[in-house]
Structures are given as C-alpha cells and as structure tokens.
C-alpha cells in the first residue's frame, strides 16, 4: 500500500525536504551493522509532502507522530480536511485522546 509522510509547512521542514531531495534518506541500525534501508533522493517528492490535503487524499489509515501537545491541532486539521478513515496517535502516556472530540474517524 502507498505511504505518504505529511510534514509541517515550515521553513525548517522545507529545508529538511530540500536536503532529502538532494541526498535521499537512509535508516541504519546500531545493533545490526549490515542493516540499511533507504529512500532514494528521486523518490522523496513522491513520499513526503507539506500539503496535508493532498497527502491525506484517499488514505485508508492515518498514523500521527507528533508531541502530545500538538494532538489537538492535528485533530482540528483532520476534521477540517474531512478525514474519516482510522487515525492512530502514536504517543504513549496518559490522556492521549483528551480533547479529541468529536471523533468521526
């Protein structure tokens, strides 16, 4: 299934995306030196976007990886964009879903 990463539309995020577009992205593992998984620079534009409306179009599931203090803002964005597919907030801790009403997803 296709995966898209929606990142904040800030100068800092845009700068990071420019670097990824030039160099690509590599994930390494300290426990397994031979492990390497990556995203080629040419594929970055297809996988990363700052346009939430475009990035969420047609999603079957949304995984939210932000600080808990940002959950309400992300929730409002999801509501504004009409997201109805399952949404999983990836924080652990108490009261993660506090303030996330209504929940059409």
Give the mean model confidence (pLDDT) for residues 52-73. Answer: 88
Q: Would you say 75 and 101 are in contact if contact means Cβ atoms under 8 Å apart?
A: no
* Angle, alpha carbons 84-72-65 (nearest 5°): 75
User: Residue 17's closest CA among 8, 34, 1?
Assistant: 8
Between CA 6 and CA 21 the distance in angstroms is: 15
d(CA 82, CA 17): 26
Average per-residue pLDDT for the chain:
88
Contact call for residues 31 and 74 (beta carbons, < 8 A): no
* Beta strand 5-6 pairing with 48-49: parallel
pLDDT confidence band for 85 (50 / 70 / 90)? very high
Q: What are phi and psi of 104, to 5 degrees?
A: -80, -10
* pLDDT tens, residue by residue, 23-44: 998 989 889 989 999 999 999 9
pLDDT (0 to 100) of residue 80: 93
């Amino acid at each position: 299934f296709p995966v898209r990463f929606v990142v904040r539309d800030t100068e800092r995020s845009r700068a990071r995306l420019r670097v990824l577009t030039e160099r690509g992205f590599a994930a390494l593992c300290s426990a397994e030196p031979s492990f390497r998984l990556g995203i080629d620079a040419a594929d970055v534009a297809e996988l990363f976007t700052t346009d939430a409306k475009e990035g969420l179009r047609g999603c079957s599931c949304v995984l939210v990886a932000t600080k808990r203090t940002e959950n309400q803002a992300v929730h409002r964005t999801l509501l504004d964009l009409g997201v109805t597919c399952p949404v999983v907030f990836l924080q652990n801790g108490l009261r993660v879903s506090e303030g996330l009403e209504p929940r059409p997803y």
